[in-house]
Structure 1
Amino acid sequence: MRKAAMMLATGLTALTGSIDVNAKVTAPKGATIFRLDGHGFTYALGVDDKGYLQPLYWGAPLGPNDPLVPGDPAQLKAPGELSGFDPAGSVTPQEYPGQGEGLVSEPGIKTVFADGNRDLVLKYRAHRVEGDTLVVELADIRRPLTVTLRYTIDPDSGVIGRSASVHNGDTKPVRVDQIASAVFTLPVGDDYRLHYLTGRHAAEWTQKQVPVTPALTVLESRRGSTGHGNNPWFAIGRERVTSEDAGPVWYGALAWSGSFRISVGQDNLGRVRIAGGYNSYDFAWTLKPGETLDTPVFYAGYSDGGMGGASRAFHDFQMRKIIPDGVKAKLRPVLYNSWEATAFDVTEAGQAALAEKAAKIGVERFVVDDGWFGARNSDRAGLGDWTVNRTKFPNGLKPLIDKVKSLGMDFGLWVEPEMVNADSDLYRAHPDWVLAYPDRPRTEGRNQLVLNLARIDVRDHLLGVLDTLVSENDIAFLKWDYNRNWTEAGWAGVPVEDQQRVYVDYVRNLYHILAELRRRHPRLEIEACSGGGGRIDLGILEYSDQVWTSDNTDPADRLMIQDGFTQAYAPAVMMAWVTDSPNWANTRVTSLDYRFLSSMQGGLGIGANLDHWQDADFATAAKWVAAYKTIRSTVQRGRLYRIDPPVGEDATSATMSVAQDGRQGVLFQMLHSSMWRDNPAANRPQGLDPARIYRVSVLGGGALPAGVPIHASGAYWMQKGLRAPLKGDYVGIAFVFDAIT
């Protein structure tokens, strides 16, 4: 289930009354009905009497013999004309429709044939079952164009992966103007609500809800990358039925790091349709004779445990199937990043002094940020020249790396390989290597241009310089940044009909570089960053050990940012830093204790200027770093419960992380500000084992609040709760539940 479907072999055999069965994918005898069954869900589709592939069911698990169609399952009917305004082609539910035969809802694929024909009608041709994978081939009714749908299933989480491949079997080219990875269908209903994540730089992961109506809601990026504006994730619940803890939720995320489009709306009969894949904006792909175009994978799942149950299932899937090394992945080390301390003023002596201070508080990874390479003294020069600045590091990086390692830490570097400054040796040598149109302006963002990774020579150059950098230095970690979006997406030097492939080939080559770099350096870890959360998705997560959630490190804002992030993505990859106060984003003043308690709810990092800290600050930080290491596994790899989500109008919030084996839980209670003489209700932990006895303690030391017992059962804590009145502004406390039986 890891990557877009590759070109499929020919020779699929049509169903002839046989049976293909394993524990997950079933094709019952005597009917072209297909089922995918996993933990807590059933997904079904079938071929009707006219050859259309119809969606039949997606939701809570059904019995193995439950009927999916009325009457004889071998007689699934295609509907007829509803009216002169609603011909059969517009009302037939299709699993993956072509743009033709009167279709008025979102198509799976839209094409233009060489003779100008734009009608595409796809019908079932063949299928096969390969273990946990169902492959179904559709074909146009006249032309030699086929679409192969691929369904993979993770039975443990209830997540399926869908993708599509279109193949041109003609002797003439076919232009693909729009192609989705998948189209999903939910039954008729007027009470569906769409949940999605939106925002902007330093204000990512804002949660929104809207009704699902015939007015199409489109989540998209036209930026060349995932973008801060909309994330390629959705969740759909039912009004007054779905809550945080209960009710049906259908959810999904596109594994793609480029421009994308996900549309959600009701069709002309009120069925909910969700389509997602490459963004059709400025996109076209001319399929040459014999050529195949593959889509990314669209992962989707169902939960009857509300939004919380959906996110925990998706987190589990990501930790096992998406992130590098899966369940064997290392826990995220506590890192220090030098940016806020030094910015571009990087020197060997200055970084060595910071490393000594970082080691003193228990940091495990020291990362030198921007300014170590080329003529890099500001953001106006040097990008693209990935060689060590010998003025700043006269003997290269080795002396600093040796120093860092002698202090018990490993060493990391910041890089931004996809970008180039006009003032750089690389640009002076290769001005043709950037995204640009001939004789048009080259718009800069942050004083930089975007290299055209769709070019093989650019791809190979970047791989070469990064491979050399890592090979010649003992580098354990790269913070891979990407600090602007596309403007002029031109690709001169290839035929005009192929230039709009740039949106796909760029991202494919980015994945190639990351995959090959990891293959050559198996111990290298990578953080995906794009001005914070501007390129976080299941595509980039396959090559990234962690992600930089947001440039906004204000601890109060971060509680809401982190709450939004974890709706879609696992805390196992979410980095959160303790930085300086007042915070750069909003000048808010907060205590060091509060900043640590906010950041400890993900992978802990420190980005403050240690040169400004006093002895008391180092003592406080050392205490919290040591405490964090005792709960790190639970926070990063456990199950997350949103006890009291942070929202703007509420003063308090609380989250609970519980280890997979149930032997430890951590409850974070945070107070934004108290009013009058606030008397907050008890927080009720979730996810503990009711039969176990847990000892509760305050993380970092300190006395329990009055009336809180030291020992009690999981049932006690979850039913009676734990009340910890907090007073003041921006304060917090964390409770640790350790099983003693």
Structure 2
Amino acid sequence: MPEVTSAITRTTCAGRPAWLLRTRWNAMLLSLGDGGVLMLDHWGGDGGGLGGDSYLPHTPWNRPSQAQFLDGVPLGYSVYGDRAFKEPGLVVARADGSAVSRPAWREDHVEDDVLRLVFEDVGSGLVVEHRFAVFAEHGVVERDVLVENRGAEALRVERIASAVLGLPPARYESWTLHGRWGDEYQLTRRDLAAGKVVVESRRGFTSHEANPWFALSRVGEAGPVWFGALAWSGNWSIVFETERNDALHVVAGVNPFDSAWHLEPGGTFRTPSLVCGYAEDGVDGAARLLHRYQRDHVLPARHRDTPPPVHYNTWLATSFDVEVGHQVELATRAAELGVELFVVDDGWFGARTSDHAGLGDWVVDPVKFPNGLGELVDEVHRLGMRFGIWLEPEMVNPDSDLYRAHPDWVLHLPDRETTLSRHQLVLNFARHDVREAVLARVRALLADHPIDFVKWDHNRPYTEVGWPQAPVERRREVWVRHVRGVYEVMGRLRAEFPDLMIETCAGGGGRVDLGVLGLADFAQVSDNTDPSDRLRAQYGFSRAYAPRAMVGWVADVPEPTTGRTSPLEFRFHVAMQGVLGISGDILGWSGEERTRAAGLIAGYKRLRAVVQDGDQYWLVPPAESGPCAVQYVSRDRREVVVFVYQVRGVAGEGPRRIRLRGLDAERHYRRADDGLVTTGAALMAAGLSSAFPQPPAPRHTEDWRSRVELWEAVDEEAMS
């Protein structure tokens, strides 16, 4: 890999001021167009000759500016008021109703690996600052935009994107993540033709239906990929606009739907970040760049250097039927299996005997815990495990003491009936008093008990999103202020309880993005624990997010969502692809099942450092039937873990060869289970067989098979 001596260089492009942003894997060349338009002259591979007047821009700038429209020209940002007829990234309205802006370049600032480009619209006093933070060792650039009102009149920000990305004419295809509850993170490819494709959430949170990540490639080319991921847990939007010359215009950021920001003189607004990059080795290579960046710069620093614990969650064993004696029995059995974290899920508080009541009343139920929660917490710690608990702090049941005392604290409109979903409403975290009340209650719970972990759940989308107590000009800020309020509460809890671990969950995988992952150590992928469905969901999830952030559950069979049955080893091996979790009634497991489970957990602990912190390669992506394989390589390329699966085997189908990737070709590797030694070159050229031993009759109806292999580098001294 080439060394990068300077990540940001001031240069020129066809005689215009320009800035070259370089990483080990790619480069971005920005320049100023006529009238101060920010151009994206290049985004892609770095051949070493970028920058300077020899670089050919995308448009003939020697024409008179008034005749030069910007259609079909790759832009670094678009403003309503530019000479363009494409999706704007910024729309700001003045008091007279005009929304046309013409920011002109004023200055640049380069500090460490951060470039800030400052533009100003003299007529309105609007200052626009574009920030580019270059992560040279990770191949990505963080982009965001800050606007400030330096004028004398208030402005209304009607749209502000985190980034605009322009690509030159070609035929492009997009890769995005879509799904629904129980079927999240399905990787979806589509050809981009003339017009717009919009991927978004209007549900108030990231959503099960789509995720704010994308990848782009040229149709028919297997290599180069451009990608981006948005750090925002509220409404978001990504627009892919194919222009008439097949140039591609991408606008990503907070969704402008029903949203605006009132900008008083002196006021500012900063967007969430868009992390963007380019990889030569496809979507898989793009994922590895994102994984390393997340592990090193996004996930909470407190726990980056320690492996996430194997955890047991009580939900599938107890539902709302929580009782201290039964919980102690479950904890005892979990400790015997090798579990490191015991998590009590829903049902421990208030009047919580079903999902109809109790949300918002975070007080321990004295009937279920007559001696207080401390009795269970102490026993879990005595058994050598950490203790965790389930919370849903942003929600409230109408049948709760909190709602009866403060019905105005929920998102609502005074002249519209509120819609219940899962018998609950959404607390308005845009309100300071709501945030302080929730923080005080959760703080008291954590201060009164040595709780190590919180599963932070979120189980409904937002409707009747109103804030009638706010000034009229501020009411449409509620979508953004709510998310910022959630971030504030989570951040303050982390600051006050620095050893606390947090898992983000939203009806499974409904809230996962780079914003919440800056505050949560890991995330649920789906409420669906069926391992064959999970393979496809985990494949899609890992296109955008690191295995270290991905929680997998081993559940009982038949699986609660699909009713399917699969072997214990298969369920464990699928869940081992990230952070291993177990749910279900482990008290009902046979002695033989417990022995196998304990062995699998012990084996996982040996593998997890490579799985969670190594480079991931999907060798054979999952399908409805047939083989599947995924590989993890430690950063020093000395250890390799390979999971091989057979999903619903097809009769008469012969074995495949699974060729490994990313190894040191000259190095020898030994397979841990049988001592076989071969070279990295052989493993990458000839590979492993997908075949499994013939199962004893009668065969399982689905023929689910799996195995895991650990390969370790052999030193030359040992070879001799």
TM bucket, shorter chain: over 0.9
Deviation of 1:239 (Å): 1.9
Report the alpha carbon displacement of residue 94 of structure 1 after superposing the two structures with TM.
Answer: 3.6
Q: Partner of 2:501 in structure 1?
A: 525
State the distance in 1 between where 2:502 and 2:304 align: 16
Gaps of 5+ in 1: 1-20, 699-703
Secondary structure of the structure 1 residue equivalent to 2:672: strand
1:721 equivalent to 2:695? Answer: no
Give runs of aligned pairs for residues 105-254 of structure 1, distance below 5 A. Answer: 105-140=86-121, 142-190=123-171, 192-242=172-222, 247-254=223-230
Give 1:101 deviation, angstroms. 4.6
**What is the rounded CA distance, in whole Å, between the counterparts of 1:314 and 1:272 in structure 2?**
22
Matches within 5 A, 1:115-514: 115-140=96-121, 142-190=123-171, 192-242=172-222, 247-325=223-301, 328-514=304-490
Question: Cα gap change, 1:327/1:240 in structure 2, threshold over 3 Å: closer, same or farther?
Answer: farther
Contact 1:214–1:270 at 8 Å: present in 2 too?
yes
Residues in 1 aligned to 2:291 and 2:500: alpha-carbon distance in whole angstroms? 23
Per-residue deviation, 1:328:
3.8
Give the whole-Å Cα distance in 1 for the aligned partners of 2:227 and 2:260: 28
Alpha-carbon distance, 1:421 to partner: 0.4
AA at the equivalent of 1:692: R
* RMSD of aligned Cα (Å): 2.0
Aligned AA (1:688): L
* Structure 2 residue 2 is the aligned partner of structure 1 residue 23: no
Alignment match, 1:737: 711
What amino acid is aligned across from residue 660 of structure 1 in structure 2?
A: R
Aligned to 1:37: 22
Deviates more, 1:678-687 or 1:446-455: 678-687
Cα distance in 1, alignment partners of residues 350 and 135 from structure 2: 46
- Alpha-carbon contact 2:34-2:65 (below 8 Å) kept: no
For each residue in 1:493-525, what CA deviation from the matched residue of structure 2 results, as whole angstroms up to 9, or x when unmatched? 111221110111111111111111011111000
Cα contact 1:174–1:287 (8 A) shared by 2 = yes
Deviation, structure 1 residue 88: 2.2
Closer, same or farther: CA 65–554 of 1 in aligned 2, 3 Å: closer
Alignment partner of 2:689: what SS?
A: coil
Partners of 1:38 and 1:680 lie apart in 2 by 41
Q: Distance in 1 between matches of 2:71 and 2:217?
A: 26
Output the CA distance in 1 between the equivalents of 2:637 and 2:83. 54
Distance 1:22 1:142 in 2: 41
Q: Secondary structure at the match of 1:623?
A: helix
Distance 1:52 1:331, change over 3 A: same
* 1:358 to partner: Cα distance: 0.5
3-state secondary structure, aligned to 1:538: coil
Q: 1:212 to 1:355 in 2, by over 3 A?
A: same
Q: Match for 1:227: what amino acid?
A: S
Superposed displacement of residue 562, structure 1: 0.5
Judging changes above 3 Å, is the alpha-carbon distance between structure 1 residues 269 and 447 closer, same or farther for their aligned structure 2 residues? same
CA distance in 2, matches of 1:439, 1:48: 50
Find the aligned partners of 1:588 and 1:410 in 2 and give their Cα distance: 32
Q: 8 Å contact 1:69–1:76 — kept in the other structure?
A: no
CA distance in 2, matches of 1:587, 1:379: 23
Q: CA-to-partner distance for each residue in 1:91-114, whole Å, 9 max, x for gaps?
A: 665422211255321111112110
Residue 718 of structure 1: how far off its partner (Å): 1.4
* Divergent runs of 4+, >6 A: none
3-state SS of 1:621 partner: helix
In structure 2, the residue corresponding to 1:300 is in which secondary structure? strand
Separation in 1, partners of 2:244, 2:268: 32
Residue pair 1:373, 1:386 contacting (<8 A) in 2 also: yes
- Write out per-residue CA displacement over residues 92-149 of structure 1, whole angstroms, 9 at most, x where no aligned residue: 6542221125532111111211011121222212111111011011122532111111
Alpha-carbon distance, 1:213 to partner: 2.3
Deviation at 1:463, TM superposition (A): 1.2
Deviation for aligned residue 1:80: 5.0
AA partner of residue 86 (structure 2)? S
SS at match of 1:28: strand
Mapped to 2, the partners of 1:71 and 1:740 lie a distance apart of 50
Asked if the contact 2:73–2:247 (Cα under 8 Å) also holds between the matched residues in 1, the reply is no
* 3-state SS of paired residue (1:564): helix
Q: Which moved more, 1:26-35 or 1:385-394?
A: 26-35
Residue 423 of structure 1 and its aligned partner are, at CA, apart by: 0.6
CA distance in 2, matches of 1:68, 1:261: 36
- The residue that corresponds to 1:622 in the other structure is 598
Match status 1:58 vs 2:43: yes
C-alpha distance in 1 between matches for 2:447 and 2:687: 53
Q: TM-score, normalised by structure 2?
A: 0.94
Deviation at 1:70, TM superposition (A): 5.1
Contact 1:323 1:544 in 2 (8 A): yes
CA contact (8 A) 2:20 2:50 kept: no
What is the distance in 2 between the residues matched to 1:79 and 1:625? 69
Q: Which amino acid aligns with 1:265?
A: E
SS in 1 for 2:169: coil
Cα deviation digits, residues 447-490 of structure 1 (max 9, x gap): 00000000011011111111111111010000000000101101
Secondary structure of 2:142's aligned partner = strand
SS at match of 1:36: strand
Whole-Å Cα distance in 1 between the matches of residues 62 and 613 of structure 2? 47
Provide the aligned length of Structure 1 versus Structure 2.
702
Deviates more, 1:47-56 or 1:440-449: 47-56
Q: Which amino acid aligns with 1:497?
A: E
TM-score with structure 1 length normalisation? Answer: 0.92
- Partner secondary structure for residue 210 of structure 2: coil
Identity within the alignment, %? 41
Q: Which residue number in structure 2 is paired with residue 15 of structure 1? A: none
Say if 1:93 and 1:187 are closer, same or farther in 2 by CA, change over 3 A. closer
Alpha-carbon contact 2:142-2:273 (below 8 Å) kept: yes
Contact 2:430 2:481 in 1 (8 A): yes
1:634 aligns with 2:610: yes
Q: Per-residue CA shift, 1:4-60, capped at 9, x if unaligned?
A: xxxxxxxxxxxxxxxxx9711111278511110111111011113433221111000
Amino acid at match of 2:205: S
In the alignment, the residues of structure 2 paired with residue 565 and residue 68 of structure 1 have an alpha-carbon distance, to the nearest angstrom, of 42
Of 410-419 and 166-175, more deviation after overlay is shown by 166-175
CA drift at 1:69: 6.0
Structure 1 pair 72–394 and aligned structure 2 pair: CA distance change class (3 A): closer
Q: Is the 8 A contact 1:56 1:68 kept in 2?
A: no
State the one-letter code of the partner of 1:710.
Answer: L
Paired residue secondary structure (2:35): coil
Structure 1 residues 400, 237: closer, same or farther in 2, change over 3 A? same
Q: Which residue of 2 aligns with 1:674?
A: 649
Counterpart residue type for residue 464 of structure 1: A
Distance 1:581 1:510 in 2: 36
> Which amino acid is the alignment partner of residue 737 of structure 1?
W
Distance 1:566 1:77 in 2: 46
**Structure 2 unmatched ranges of 5 or more:** 716-720
Shift of 1:308: 1.4
Cα distance per residue 1:386-436 (max 9 Å; x no partner): 111111111211111111111110100000000000010100100000000
Structure 1 pair 686–93 and aligned structure 2 pair: CA distance change class (3 A): closer
